[in-house]
Amino acid sequence: MCKFVVNLREILDNVNYIKNKADKSTKVCAVVKANAYGFGMAKICTLLKSSVDYFAVAKLSEFIKYKALNIDVPCIILSPLYGKDLNLAIKEGAEFTISTCTSIKDIEEIAKSYDVRAKVHIKVDTGMSRYGYNSKNLLLRAMQKLQKCGNIDVVGLFTHLYEGNNAQKTQNQIREFVKYKEIVNRYGFDPICHVANSEGTNTLDDKFDMVRVGYDVYTSKDSSHKFETCIREIKQIEKGDKVSYNGKFVAKKYMEIAICGAGYADGVKRALSKKGYVLIRGQRAKILGTICMDSFMVDITNIKKVKLTDKVVIFGKSKDNVISVCEVAKKCGTIPYEIYTGITDRVKRVYIWGNDAGYSRQVWRKKA
């Protein structure tokens, strides 16, 4: 069975660390989009509901799942909405993003039809060239419309840092954001301003009213999160035998190999083919040939006492050895976010608390 072992204690510690770095008056928004970066939105939101001021998702479908949890913490939809999605978001009471293509007139009319006040966060583009008002004139026109609306509350104003660990670029974005903020304030609105992402939380002196953190919630300082599977078959091959699709690996000598029960449909990146490693009995075993949809093969020739159903650690700890998610990401030419979010729904999420390497706490052993 494939498992993604999540250390809930470390996630809670991460959030407390983030809160301690910020001023006591600064709100904390935990981003739980993409199934909480692959960690399981239901479990993470339940864990953090008493520790954060906001949650954030990317899509309406994610908000609907969040709302079903009945957690009394506001949740922002970070991507702009249109058409039927806009209608449903207002009906369901979501806080959502407005951008250049958003029809303020439609929001007002829909909110009136439901006799509610739509709660919006204005997104401004300060250099990412993604969603958001990217000129002062566009924002001025939007504010003029919003000022006349009786059924819209401007709850938030935000932007996104595209290189939060670069002080100069970030300061340029902050200067632009402040100019947009002045326009919004000029029209009588005093929204929650949120700029700092995970990187910005570490580097910005001015955190504004709220920090909006994603990866730093889930990062593991001691690789206590673990993605693992098990050995499904062991076999011996001879010199000249080929391994996996297209026979790209050819044995140069007698070898013992293990077939591992996970593949790219579970989140084991094909980019690890022929160059990645896993841990078996605390020792590194090289991936041989191309990773398949449901399995991959590794060299266990020099690992003693390997047996069927032994654990195979794709990232995480095994005895005194470790393969970090950052190492896996580097070999794949990507970032840890993609590794975590790439772990699919076929993989069971197993929740532990602290250094519970044996998964003995059954209370956490539930699928998200």
The SS3 of residue 60 is helix
What's the residue count for the chain? 368
Structure confidence at residue 364 (pLDDT) = 33
Chain mean pLDDT for the chain: 93
Structure confidence at residue 366 (pLDDT) = 34
DSSP state of 124: B
Class of residue 357 by CB neighbours under 10 A (exposed 0-12, middle 13-18, buried 19+): middle
Structure confidence at residue 206 (pLDDT) = 75
Q: Which of 19-23, 110-114, 120-124 has the lowest mean pLDDT?
A: 19-23
Q: Which of 66-70, 121-125, 202-206 has the lowest mean pLDDT?
A: 202-206
Is the CB of residue 341 less than 8 Å from the CB of residue 38?
A: yes
Q: Which of 77-86, 91-100, 160-169 has the lowest mean pLDDT?
A: 160-169
Structure confidence at residue 335 (pLDDT) = 95
Question: What are the contacts of 246-253 at 24+ separation with CB within 8 A?
Answer: 246/290, 247/289, 248/273, 248/274, 248/289, 248/290, 249/274, 249/288, 249/289
Region 280-290: mean pLDDT is 98
Structure confidence at residue 165 (pLDDT) = 80
Is the CB of residue 290 less than 8 Å from the CB of residue 274?
A: yes
The alpha-helical segments, DSSP class H, found in the chain are 8-21, 33-37, 41-48, 60-67, 83-91, 104-114, 136-147, 167-186, 198-203, 215-218, 325-332, 336-341
CB atoms within 10 A of CB 130: 13
Q: Among residues of the chain, what percentage have pLDDT more than 90?
A: 86
Region 139-147: mean pLDDT is 97
Separation of alpha carbons 153 and 146, rounded Å: 9
Output the pTM of the full model: 0.92
What domains can you pick out in the chain, each with its CATH number? Answer: 8-218 (3.20.20.10), 226-364 (2.40.37.10)
